[in-house]
Structure 1
Amino acid sequence: MKSATVIGCGIVGLTSAIKLQEKGYKVTIIAKERFDKTLSNKVGAIWFPFEIHPKEKANYWAKLAFEEYQRDIKPTNGVTFIPFITAYDDKSNTDWTIQMPKGSTRKALDAELPNGIQKAFISIVPLAEPSLYLPYLFKRFKDNNGTFIQQEISILVEASKLDKLVINCSGLGAKKLCNDKDLQPMRGQILRCKKIDITSFADSTKQGSLSYIIKRSNDCIIGGTDYLNDYNLDVEQSDTDKITERFLQTNLCNQKPEIIEEIVGLRPKRTTVRFEFDNQYPSIFHNYGHGGAGYTVAWGCAIEMVKNVYDK
């Protein structure tokens, strides 16, 4: 039996490991933290191609992931398909709408737009709630004879010796592991709030003023921030105030949300996703730098990654 080791236990690492298992690999995941301590466990986890490049590959991976979520709806795994308003302007990537299933996307009417949004699409898209979906994926991995080892891998030469095939899904950790100067954090602060009965939306058209709400089964995620090269993991009251103010300005709700928890995470932002074999260590395939679109493209990246490595 072929074997492979995946570095990282977030959404990208877990999906990569599962797709390798489906191809008959014996897979080990090695990670600094288990899935419930990763960035993937902090996010809203809506299907939304946000801050990921190159555009053409991101759209392709998103399409593959969309189809995987369609096949992966289970009663208790947190995957549902919900209406989602996506704001856009002349600079936005809107090509993803072309590949959506027929009838699942349309332009929003003026009366449907949150205040402050000029143009938007309304789509039916996947939502994968992390508190349910990540444990489901981890169990799926373990039940298929997967092994998890909690250990930090800090240099590439160490990673190259882990297995004949190593998939690097270490996210922002790749900055240290690969000495990757192109990789930088994009700080996100969000509010987990009591559930509000409004349509989920996102407006990412104004850099530095990201605004969105994701309605989940038992709560809502209201965001957010998109500060580049910001390593601050502390909750900032000023950001909470800005997020709340922007939410109220949409006129979707006339009262302040009831905050359950304030959360900060660092998205792994890169000029382009690193998706290639390492030049110096040919046993390593890199799959990191997915910006704010980990859940949107992870399955698609995993599917293409397996095609690239299977015959190596």
Structure 2
Amino acid sequence: MPSVTVVGSGIVGLTSAIILQEKGFEVTIVAKECFDKTLSSKVGAIWFPFEIEPKEKANIWASLAYERYQNDIEPKNGVTFIPFLTAYNNHSNNDWTQTLPKGTVRKAKPSELPKGIKMAFISIVPLAEPRLYLPYLFEKFLKNGGHFEEREIKDIKELAALNTLVINCTGLGAKNLCNDEDLQPMRGQILRCKKMNTPSFADSTKKGALSYIINRSNDCVIGGTDYDNDWNRNVEASDTTLILNRLKAIGYNEAPPEILEEIVGLRPKRSPVRFEFDDNFSNIFHNYGHGGAGFTVAWGCAIELAELLTEKK
């Protein structure tokens, strides 16, 4: 049985590991922290192609992931399909709407639009709640015979020495690991609140003014921010106020949301996603830089990755 080491335990690392196991690889995950401390554990995790390039590949990966989520619904694993309103304008990439199954996407009626949003799609999309889905994936990985080692890799030479085949899914950590100048943080601050009686939506039409609500089974995520090249990991009261003011601006006039937690995460933004073998270390395959679309494309990337590696076996 061929052996492979996946570095990183977020959604990209876990999905890569599981797909490779399904293709007959013996897989070890090495990560500086377990899945519950990664960026993936903090996000809203709705299927939404956001801040990811190239769009052609992203749409293919997202479509493959959509199909995988359809077959990955199990009791209490956090995967559901929900209506999601997505704002767009004349400059938006709407190609993703063409990849969805027939009957799952339509243009929103004027009466369905939140205040300030002029055009939007309503689609039925996967929601994979991290607090349920990541433990489910990790347990599946272990049941499939996987091994996990908590260890920080310092440089690319140490990365290459891990195995005859290494998959680099370190997200933003790849900036220092690979000296990648193209990889930058996109800072996101969100509010985890008690569930709200309002539809889930996202408006990313204005850079620097990202706004969304994602209702989940036991809570709600309200966002957010999309600040490029911002390394600030601290919760900022000014951003919390900004998020709440944007909520009011769309016409939400009920009681203020009950905030359970304020969260900051740094998305790994790169143009394009690095999905390739390393030029200098031929045993390393890079799979990082998925921006704000990790849960949207991770399964698709993993599927293509496994096909590439299976051809090389």
Q: Which of the five TM-score ranges fits, normalised by the shorter chain?
A: over 0.9
Using the TM superposition, give the Cα deviation of residue 253 of structure 1 relative to its aligned residue in structure 2, in angstroms: 4.1
Question: Which residue in 1 is equivalent to 2:91?
Answer: 91
Structure 1 distance, partners of 2:110, 2:128, is 29
For these two proteins, the number of residue pairs brought into alignment is 312
Pairing of 1:1-312 with structure 2 (within 5 A): 1-312=1-312
Using the TM superposition, give the Cα deviation of residue 157 of structure 1 relative to its aligned residue in structure 2, in angstroms: 1.0
In structure 1, give the amino acid aligned to 2:302.
A
Cα displacement string for residues 205-241 of structure 1 (whole angstroms, at most 9, x for unaligned residues): 0100100000000010000000000000000000000
In structure 2, give the amino acid aligned to 1:76.
K
In structure 1, give the amino acid aligned to 2:283.
S
Farther-moved stretch of structure 1 (154-163 vs 219-228): 154-163
Which runs of no fewer than 5 residues in structure 2 stay unpaired? none
In structure 1, give the amino acid aligned to 2:133.
Y
Q: Is the 8 A contact 1:248 1:254 kept in 2?
A: no
Structure 2 distance, partners of 1:145, 1:49, is 32
Structure 2 distance, partners of 1:180, 1:246, is 34
Identity level (%): 68
User: What TM-score, normalized to structure 1?
Assistant: 0.99
Using the TM superposition, give the Cα deviation of residue 311 of structure 1 relative to its aligned residue in structure 2, in angstroms: 2.6
Cα displacement string for residues 51-76 of structure 1 (whole angstroms, at most 9, x for unaligned residues): 00000000000000000000000011
Which runs of no fewer than 5 residues in structure 1 stay unpaired? none
In structure 2, give the amino acid aligned to 1:306.
A
In structure 2, give the amino acid aligned to 1:57.
K
Q: Is the 8 A contact 1:248 1:256 kept in 2?
A: no
Structure 1 distance, partners of 2:125, 2:199, is 12
Q: Is the 8 A contact 1:8 1:30 kept in 2?
A: yes
In structure 1, give the amino acid aligned to 2:31.
A
In structure 2, give the amino acid aligned to 1:179.
N
In structure 2, give the amino acid aligned to 1:62.
A
Which consecutive aligned stretches of 4+ in structure 1 deviate over 2 angstroms post-superposition? 252-255
Structure 1 distance, partners of 2:147, 2:253, is 46
Cα displacement string for residues 28-60 of structure 1 (whole angstroms, at most 9, x for unaligned residues): 000011000000000000000000000000000
